[in-house]
Amino acid sequence: MLHIDDQGMLVSARVRPRRFPQIERQPLSEVKGIIVHQTGASSAQSSFNSYGNANANGAHFLIDKDGIIYQTASIFKRTNHVGSLQARCLAEYTCKPAEFKKSAKFPQASEISRMHAVEMLKSVPVRYPSNVDSIGIEIVGKPVLPPGKSAPEGATPRQREVYFNNNAVYEAVNAAQNGSLAWLVKELIHALRISETEVFRHPVVSRKNPSEASTASW
The DSSP bridge partners found for residue 199 are 34
By rule CB under 5 A, what count of residues binds Zn ion? 2
Q: Which is nearer to Zn ion, 37 or 116 (CB)?
A: 37
DSSP string, 77-119: B------SBPPHHHHTT---HHHHHHT-SS--HHHHHHHHHHH
φ and ψ at residue 65, rounded to 5 degrees: -60, -30
What are the φ and ψ backbone dihedral angles of 143, each rounded to 5 degrees?
A: -80, 140
The nearest distance, CB 155 to Zn ion, in angstroms, is 26
Query: What's the closest the beta carbon of residue 153 comes to Zn ion, in angstroms?
Result: 32
Smallest gap from Cβ 172 to Zn ion, in A, equals 16
Binder to Zn ion among 23, 28, 34, 37 (CB under 5 A)? Answer: 37
What CA–CA distance (Å, rounded) separates 202 from 199? Answer: 10
Closest approach, Cβ 24 to Zn ion, in A, equals 18
Contact 217, 185 (CB under 8 A): no
Cβ–Cβ under 8 Å, residues 170 and 211: yes
How far is Cα 104 from Cα 5, in angstroms, rounded to an integer?
Answer: 43
Does position 60 bind Zn ion by CB under 5 A?
no
Nearest distance from residue 40's CB to Zn ion, in Å? 8
Using CB under 5 A, which of the segments 5-13, 30-38, 68-76, 188-196 binds Zn ion? 30-38
Give 19 or 37: the residue with its C-beta nearer to Zn ion.
37
Please report how close the Cβ of residue 130 comes to Zn ion at its closest, in angstroms.
13
- Using CA of residue 18, residue 21, residue 27, residue 28, what is the dihedral sign? negative
Q: Which of 58, 188, 202, 215 binds Zn ion (CB under 5 A)?
A: 202
The smaller minimum CB distance to Zn ion, of residues 56 and 95, is found at: 56
Comparison of 75 and 137: residue with beta carbon closer to Zn ion: 137
How much of the chain is in helix, strand and coil states, percent to nearest 5? 30, 15, 50
Where does this chain touch Zn ion (CB under 5 A) — which range of 34-42, 48-56, 69-77, 183-191?
34-42
Binding site for Zn ion (CB under 5 A): 37, 202
